[in-house]
């Protein structure tokens, strides 16, 4: 995991946790699937990375997935969680003077459920980060 990915993961967990409305709806926000957590909960996964450098600077493109789990009887509760999580992501700030979040762009979402199992809502984003090596 690169420094950029680690910074992004921390920033996204912080933004989701700091949103009072979302925090009231969840048992927790985790930086991956928790060993044990009461539903509903959210997990943050920064996955595939690729180079996004240019002539004079270094950059990374990182794929980000937010998984939201709930045991509601209908998808409505999950849809509300997804809307609130998307709003909270507008507040993501890296908090590292050596890095600049250039963009956090929505890619796709999906709602899934196997019979009798919890609901899963997946939000996927593309993040682009430039590293200010002189900072």
pTM: 0.91
- CA 42 vs. chain centroid, Å, equals 9
Examine the pLDDT at 134 and tell me if it is beyond 70.
no
CATH number at residue 48: 3.30.2000.30
Residues 29-65 pLDDT 10s: 998 888 889 999 999 999 899 999 988 889 999 999 9
> Which residue segment(s) compose the domain that 66 sits in?
3-131
Examine the pLDDT at 105 and tell me if it is beyond 60.
yes
What would the mean pLDDT of 119-127 be, rounded to a whole number? 97
- Tokens standing for residue 119: 């609901």
Sign, CA dihedral 85-45-61-5, equals: positive
- Tokens standing for residue 29: 């926000």
**Overall number of domains in the chain:** 1
User: Is the N-terminal amide bond of 86 cis, ω within 30° of 0?
Assistant: no
**Percent of the chain having pLDDT more than 90?**
76
CA distance 98 to 51: 17
Examine the pLDDT at 13 and tell me if it is beyond 90.
yes
The residue written with tokens 């998984």 in the block is 67
């Amino acid at each position: 995991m690169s420094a950029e990915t680690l910074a992004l993961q921390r920033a996204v967990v912080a933004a989701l946790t700091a949103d009072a409305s979302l925090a009231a709806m969840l048992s927790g926000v985790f930086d991956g699937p928790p060993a044990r957590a009461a539903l509903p909960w959210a997990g943050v996964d920064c996955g595939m990375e690729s180079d996004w450098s240019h002539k004079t600077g270094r950059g990374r493109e990182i794929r980000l997935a937010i998984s939201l789990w709930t045991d509601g009887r209908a998808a409505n509760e999950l849809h509300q969680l997804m809307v609130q999580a998307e709003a909270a992501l507008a507040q993501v700030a890296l908090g590292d003077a050596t890095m600049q979040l250039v963009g956090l762009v929505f890619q796709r979402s999906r709602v899934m459920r196997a019979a009798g199992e919890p609901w899963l809502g997946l939000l996927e984003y593309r993040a682009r980060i430039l590293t200010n090596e002189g900072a």
